[in-house]
């Protein structure tokens, strides 16, 4: 899972990983890693 390693490096800052919410689903596709979240409440854009 090189894509996952790359994503973690992008979120890192001086070798410390920033905390991101744990996704509900992690999907690996031909275009990379996709994080999906199921929310309890609707967010009005």
pLDDT recorded at residue 18: 61
pLDDT recorded at residue 4: 75
Q: Is the entire prediction scored with pTM above 0.85?
A: no
pLDDT (tens place) for every residue of the chain, 45 residues total: 677 777 777 766 555 656 778 889 989 888 888 989 999 998 887
Q: Is residue 37 within 8 Å of 24, Cβ to Cβ?
A: yes
Q: Which residues pair with 34 in a beta bridge?
A: 27
Dist CA 36 CA 6 (whole Å): 18
pLDDT recorded at residue 37: 92
pLDDT recorded at residue 1: 63
């Amino acid at each position: 899972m090189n894509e996952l390693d790359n994503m973690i490096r992008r979120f890192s800052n001086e070798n410390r990983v920033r905390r991101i919410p744990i996704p509900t689903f992690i999907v690996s596709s031909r275009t990379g890693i996709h994080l999906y979240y199921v929310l309890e409440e609707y967010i009005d854009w």
